[in-house]
Amino acid sequence: MLGIEQELLGDKYLRVSRLKMRPNEAILERLERVIETLQENNQKMGQMLAVHDEKLDKQDRIDAVLFEKVESLHREVNRSTKEIKAGCERDIRLVDNRLRIMEKKMWSIFGALSIISFVVSPVGQRFVSAALTPTPEVSIIQK
């Protein structure tokens, strides 16, 4: 179509098309600048994303170290807790055994005091004297 019109109009068409081309050239130049700006921005975004990705990787490594430290402390606290618990249980058993021994001694002393007080009492004296002193045999002398 342009070829036919160009032949019909000749130089006049060239002048008009050049005038029309100038705004198109301006638009093309603006589009090229916009595209270049977008490409620069795209490169900058790529660099920023690379930096952020590196920072995220570094933070992940730091987090892994911190989580390992937390786990290590958790294991140590659990181990210490188990040791403390075992020590407390051992101490409780020792105290319980000592209390049982003291209780046995206390009941032995209580029983001994009960027997002594019974033997010393008047009722106990009659009972003990009857049991310990034999009854005299009555002997009759006959002539």
User: Which residues are CB-contacts of 132 (< 8 A; sequence separation ≥ 6)?
Assistant: none
Per the domain annotation, does 127 fall within a domain? no
What is the domain extent for residue 58? Answer: 2-122
User: Which residues are CB-contacts of 124 (< 8 A; sequence separation ≥ 6)?
Assistant: 117, 118
Provide the pLDDT confidence category of residue 78 given band limits of 50, 70 and 90.
Answer: very high
- Distance between CA atoms of 137 and 143, rounded to whole angstroms? 19
The continuous run of DSSP H or E covering 101 comes out as helix 11-120
Cα Rg for the chain, rounded, in angstroms? Answer: 58
Q: Structural domain tally of the chain?
A: 1
Q: What is the pLDDT of residue 92?
A: 96
Per the domain annotation, does 8 fall within a domain? yes
Classify the C-alpha dihedral 49-55-58-62 as positive or negative: negative
Per the domain annotation, does 43 fall within a domain? yes
Per the domain annotation, does 132 fall within a domain? no
Please write the tens of the pLDDT for every residue from 53-75.
999 999 999 999 999 999 999 99
Encoded amino acid at 131, one letter: A
Provide the pLDDT confidence category of residue 12 given band limits of 50, 70 and 90.
Answer: low
Please write the tens of the pLDDT for every residue from 95-130.
999 999 999 999 999 999 999 998 889 888 887 777
Per the domain annotation, does 143 fall within a domain? no
Give yes or no for a contact between 38 and 46, defined as CB atoms under 8 angstroms apart.
Answer: no
Per the domain annotation, does 72 fall within a domain? yes
Q: What is the pLDDT of residue 132?
A: 76
Per the domain annotation, does 139 fall within a domain? no
